[in-house]
Amino acid sequence: MEYTLERARRYEAEALRDISKLNRPQYHLTPGVGWMNDPNGFSFYKGKFHLFYQYYPYDTNWGKMHWGHAVSSDLVKWDYLPAALAPDSTYDHEGCFSGGAITLKDGRQMLMYTGVSVTKDENGNDMTVQQQCVAFGDGIDYKKYEHNPVIETKDLPEGASKLDFRDPTVFERPDGDYGCIVGSCDADKDGQLLEFKSKDGINWNYVGCLLKCNGKLGRMWECPNYFSMQGKRVLVFSPQEIRNMEPEFCDGNQTVCITCDEPEGEFKPKTKQCLDYGTDFYAPQVLNMPDGSKVMIGWLQNWDALRHNEKNRMFYGTMSIPRSISFKGDRLVQEPVKAIEAYRKGETRLKFALDDDLSRNERIKGRNFDMTVEVSPEEGETRYSEFSIGLAEGGGCVTLLVYDPEKKTLTIDRSKDGTERERFNERSCVLYGDRGDGNLKLRILSDGYTLEVFVNDGVNVLSAVVGTDVSAEGIYFGAAGKAKVETVFYNM
Ligand code: FRU
């Protein structure tokens, strides 16, 4: 099949005419049609937020990657624009993989992405390579640079993989040049981040290895972000195949944040934090907002937990809610962008007590909501030993959030969400800063098949996709022992 941009644009325009809005999330971005994974080129350009994404319009499975494109004025309501890139050139015929965007000094927007292609090695055998490419545009149409790729496998340092060299993030350096960090792995298959610089976005020079893993943090490091915030230098990236390193991380692919206190020079890691402790969040990008604050958006899925629960739909994949990020001390905290509050419908406030029982209320149910829950022990009583919330309950299914104040853990358990096949269903984390006194605050965003749980003002976040049919709308609260609960519930 020949993949051209024109064909993709024609196909998606046709498909969008037929696809009903029913069954889509209410306040999260999905692709108009087909498959979506990583966010790409998350940027503010010509007065609008632009989000590109890994995209295969023709199927709900991953295929030869295009870049889909959407724009928004508030980061919540998105309008689709025509696809921005198709894998139509010799250097990217196997896919236009992830990358970033930057506004050039002359006002054009430059997209930087990984072109995947098959060439021949020195013995004449087929060899897949990943190289960095650019395209220039006006916010709608982008023209690939005629001499792509701009960073080639021959620019790599000794030992770096030619196959695993992808996902450039591009930014303006303090010296006014353009900088770029690319994910890579070395000869031992350990993750590393490579830095390049350029005066024009086209001619790039290798600067050095910004950070490497030395066997301590998974394999290939995907989708790097590099920025300064509140006096720290920050790296956010997604290592593959983390194995049993430390309690902060579980096995598999996930997203980490590493900080460094020195403003320049060698990147000496100070803190290391997992950015989402649920089953589904990966490959986020961080946007520099016009006011200097930062917003992060991720793919609300994970390769390890991939599943096709979304039957009879013409699209697959959802973005997370955009999350405002900042540091409280050394801790990166996340909260949903304020703009989602404008999409709330109605308000239900409840206060109730639990005493070794379950409680539900007719006014609190549904699958598209924004709910805050605060729980604390009854005064003068011993602390309860467990607090739980049942979500998406109905038809024999329920997804549970379980808090254990003794262990200071929160667990998300979707093993009874109705999906026929075995996959990993449960994740737990020890809550940061929890005093063990039974006080807990949760903000839960549900949007059809997705859940995002922000704990104690965003010091921990857990995201998950649940497979349960959207007709399962039950919500209940339970405690082992005595607890008092306050909820504020909004439909979305
Ligand atoms: C991360 C990733 C990237 C790659 C893209 C391909 O999810 O594997 O490293 O560029 O997806 O779609």
Assess contact for 249 and 208: CB atoms under 8 A: no
By most ligand atoms within 8 Å of CB, the mutation choice from 65, 66, 98, 319 for ligand 1 is 98
Which of 295, 324, 340 is the endpoint of a domain? 340
Strands 426-430 and 358-359: unpaired
**Which of these, 449, 446, 316, 368, lies nearest to 32 by C-alpha position?**
316
Asked whether residue 374 carries a pLDDT value surpassing 70, the answer given is yes
Asked whether residue 221 carries a pLDDT value surpassing 70, the answer given is yes
318 close to ligand 1 (CB < 6 Angstrom): no
149: preceding bond cis by omega (within 30 degrees) = yes
Q: Is the domain of 300 the same as that of 424?
A: no
The domain containing residue 88 runs over which residues? Answer: 5-340
- 150 confidence band (pLDDT: 50, 70, 90): very high
Query: Bridge-partner residues for 285, per DSSP?
Result: 297
**Which of these, 155, 146, 153, 204, lies nearest to 179 by C-alpha position?**
204
- Residue 54 Cα to ligand 1 midpoint, Å, equals 8
164 close to ligand 1 (CB < 6 Angstrom): no
The active-site residue, picked from 18, 38, 155, 164, is: 38
How far is CA 350 from each of CA 364, 486, 492, rounded to the nearest angstrom?
A: 9, 6, 18
**Which of these, 263, 270, 274, 190, lies nearest to 227 by C-alpha position?**
263
92 close to ligand 1 (CB < 6 Angstrom): no
Backbone φ and ψ of 31, nearest 5°: -70, 150
Q: What is the mean pLDDT of the chain?
A: 94
Asked whether residue 310 carries a pLDDT value surpassing 60, the answer given is no
301 close to ligand 1 (CB < 6 Angstrom): no
Asked whether residue 379 carries a pLDDT value surpassing 90, the answer given is no
- Residue 336 Cα to ligand 1 midpoint, Å, equals 24
CATH of the domain at 215: 2.115.10.20
Q: What percent of the chain has pLDDT over 90?
A: 87
Q: Is the domain of 218 the same as that of 238?
A: yes
Asked whether residue 12 carries a pLDDT value surpassing 90, the answer given is yes
- Residue 373 Cα to ligand 1 midpoint, Å, equals 35
Q: Is the domain of 291 the same as that of 351?
A: no
- Pair of tokens at residue 474: 């039950």
CATH of the domain at 457: 2.60.120.560
Atom 8, ligand 1: which residue's CA is nearest?
A: 222
pLDDT given for residue 479 in this prediction? 98
Distance CA 36, CA 40 (A): 11
Q: What average pLDDT does this structure show over 340-346?
A: 97
Asked whether residue 309 carries a pLDDT value surpassing 60, the answer given is no
Q: What average pLDDT does this structure show over 201-217?
A: 94
- 340 confidence band (pLDDT: 50, 70, 90): very high
pLDDT given for residue 308 in this prediction? 59
Between these two residues, 246 and 96, which has the higher pLDDT value? 96
Q: What average pLDDT does this structure show over 312-322?
A: 90
Task: Locate the ligand 1 atom nearest the alpha carbon of residue 220 and give its number.
Answer: 9
Asked whether residue 23 carries a pLDDT value surpassing 80, the answer given is no
Q: Is the domain of 263 the same as that of 351?
A: no
283 close to ligand 1 (CB < 6 Angstrom): yes
Distance CA 444, CA 461 (A): 10
38 is catalytic: yes
- Residue 472 Cα to ligand 1 midpoint, Å, equals 33
55 close to ligand 1 (CB < 6 Angstrom): no
Task: Locate the ligand 1 atom nearest the alpha carbon of residue 54 and give its number.
Answer: 12
- Residue 222 Cα to ligand 1 midpoint, Å, equals 7
Distance CA 284, CA 286 (A): 7
By most ligand atoms within 8 Å of CB, the mutation choice from 64, 166, 254 for ligand 1 is 166
166 close to ligand 1 (CB < 6 Angstrom): yes
pLDDT given for residue 123 in this prediction? 92
- Residue 126 Cα to ligand 1 midpoint, Å, equals 21
Asked whether residue 307 carries a pLDDT value surpassing 70, the answer given is no
Q: How many CB atoms lie within 10 A of CB 249?
A: 19
Q: Is the domain of 224 the same as that of 372?
A: no
How far is CA 211 from each of CA 156, 190, 192, 221, 225, rounded to the nearest angstrom?
A: 15, 11, 6, 10, 13
98 close to ligand 1 (CB < 6 Angstrom): yes
Task: Locate the ligand 1 atom nearest the alpha carbon of residue 97 and give its number.
Answer: 10
Which residues, 6 or more positions from 355, have their beta carbon under 8 angstroms from its beta carbon? 479, 481, 482
53 close to ligand 1 (CB < 6 Angstrom): no
Which of 291, 306, 340 is the endpoint of a domain? 340
167 close to ligand 1 (CB < 6 Angstrom): yes
Q: Is the domain of 335 the same as that of 356?
A: no
pTM above 0.95, yes or no: yes
- Residue 130 Cα to ligand 1 midpoint, Å, equals 12
Q: What average pLDDT does this structure show over 188-192?
A: 93
Q: Is the domain of 315 the same as that of 365?
A: no
Q: What average pLDDT does this structure show over 453-462?
A: 98
Asked whether residue 96 carries a pLDDT value surpassing 90, the answer given is yes
pLDDT given for residue 245 in this prediction? 63
Residue 41 half-sphere exposure toward CB, CA atoms < 13 A: 35
Task: Locate the ligand 1 atom nearest the alpha carbon of residue 183 and give its number.
Answer: 9
Task: Locate the ligand 1 atom nearest the alpha carbon of residue 303 and give its number.
Answer: 7
Asked whether residue 87 carries a pLDDT value surpassing 80, the answer given is yes
Task: Locate the ligand 1 atom nearest the alpha carbon of residue 222 and give its number.
Answer: 9
148 close to ligand 1 (CB < 6 Angstrom): no
pLDDT given for residue 488 in this prediction? 98
388 close to ligand 1 (CB < 6 Angstrom): no
65 close to ligand 1 (CB < 6 Angstrom): yes
Answer positive or negative: Cα dihedral of 109, 113, 119, 122.
positive
- 22 confidence band (pLDDT: 50, 70, 90): low
- Residue 172 Cα to ligand 1 midpoint, Å, equals 23
Which of 340, 357, 387 is the endpoint of a domain? 340
- 463 confidence band (pLDDT: 50, 70, 90): very high
Q: Is the domain of 310 the same as that of 360?
A: no
Q: What average pLDDT does this structure show over 127-135?
A: 97
Burial class (CB in 10 A: 0-12, 13-18, 19+), 89: middle
Q: What average pLDDT does this structure show over 175-198?
A: 96
Q: What percent of the chain has pLDDT over 70?
A: 97
What would the 3-class secondary structure string for the chain be?
A: CCCCHHHHHHHHHHHHHHCCCCCCCCCCCCCCCEEEEEEEEEEEECCEEEEEEEEECCCCCCCCCEEEEEEECCCCCEEEEEEEECCCCCCCCCEEEEEEEEECCCCCEEEEEEEEEEEECCCCCEEEEEEEEEEEECCCCEEECCCCCCECHHHCCCCCCCCCEEEEEEEECCCCCEEEEEEEECCCCCEEEEEEEECCCCCEEEEEEEEECCCCCCCCEEEEEEEEECCEEEEEEEECCECCCCCCCCCECCCEEEEECCCCCCCCCCEEEECCCCCCCEEEEEEECCCCCEEEEEECCCHHHCCCCCCCCCEECCECCCEEEEEECCEEEEEECHHHHHHCEEEEEEEEEEECCEECCCCCCCCEEEEEEEEEECCCCCCCCEEEEEEEEECCEEEEEEEECCCCEEEEEEEECCCCCCCCCEEEEECCCCCCCCCEEEEEEEECCEEEEEECCCCEEEEEECCCCCCCCEEEEEEECEEEEEEEEEEC
Q: Is the domain of 301 the same as that of 373?
A: no
How far is CA 303 from each of CA 280, 317, 334, rounded to the nearest angstrom?
A: 8, 11, 23
Q: Is the domain of 175 the same as that of 101?
A: yes
Q: What average pLDDT does this structure show over 67-79?
A: 98
By most ligand atoms within 8 Å of CB, the mutation choice from 67, 92, 222, 225 for ligand 1 is 222
Summarize pLDDT for 417-441 with one digit per residue, the tens. 988 776 788 999 999 999 999 999 9
Q: Is the domain of 247 the same as that of 144?
A: yes
Asked whether residue 312 carries a pLDDT value surpassing 70, the answer given is no
- Residue 189 Cα to ligand 1 midpoint, Å, equals 17
Amino acid in the structure at residue 424: F
Q: What average pLDDT does this structure show over 218-244?
A: 93
How far is CA 391 from each of CA 343, 394, 451, rounded to the nearest angstrom?
A: 21, 9, 9
310 close to ligand 1 (CB < 6 Angstrom): no
Distance CA 170, CA 196 (A): 9
pLDDT given for residue 311 in this prediction? 60
- 59 confidence band (pLDDT: 50, 70, 90): very high
Distance CA 479, CA 25 (A): 31
Q: Is the domain of 92 the same as that of 123?
A: yes
Domains contained in the chain, number:
2
Backbone φ and ψ of 253, nearest 5°: -85, 135
